[in-house]
Amino acid sequence: MNELYKNTATEVVNLLKRKTISPLEVVEHAISRIEAIDQHVNALPIRCFERAIEQAKSFNNIPTNPDKYLYGLPIAVKDYNDVGGVRTTYGSPIFSDNVPKKSDATIALLEQNGAIPIAKSNVPEWAGGHTFNPVFGTTRNPWDTNLSAGGSSGGSAVAVATGMAWLATGNDLGGSLRTPAAFNGVVGLRPGP
């Protein structure tokens, strides 16, 4: 299980649905990976590990549901999305103490389908093209830490590229998923205009 991060999201979900591994084991693996790697790249500055552990434990009380396409999978959430009880800063000092009471519609739907938010990914203040901000600093490209991770979903792209998350949320109007994905060697999917 030490190299679980090398599996695809689909492979991990299949292992979870077959009960080969538990959601708690996957969350613990992700936490270990984040703690080992993030200090070098600063992609996931907001951690919600306790919340994720509690959410993972709750899967023990429910039967495996094949309709939950992300059943027990930890995900990184871009710091423009609200996760209930977890800081959302938008990369701005104005919102540095903002803790929403409930998850936004995107995250609520992901959670209904089995996703477990484990950390919030770094973003540029007000969605710029390079991921740095006055709250958490700069996210570094994992292939060369002197290079940009892109933006505005740079933290999400780096989290996936380094195996700290199998999937991460993002948003894209002018390349905010696609640019960091290209800079970090992963795929950024913009499903519609």
The pLDDT, as a whole number, for residue 193 is 66
| pLDDT at residue 62, rounded to an integer | 72
Token couple for 158: 């780096």
Whether the pTM exceeds 0.85: the reply is yes
Query: Scanning the structure block, which residue is given the tokens 């998850």?
Result: 103
Residues tagged active-site:
78, 152, 176
Residues 193 and 182: their CA atoms lie apart, in Å, by 19
End-to-end Cα distance, the chain: 39
Q: Which fold does the domain 4-184 belong to in CATH? A: Amidase signature (AS) enzymes (3.90.1300)
- Spans of the chain below 50 pLDDT: none
Q: Which residues contact 52 (CB under 8 A, 6 or more apart)?
A: 27, 30, 31, 74, 116, 117, 118
What pLDDT does residue 128 have? Answer: 87
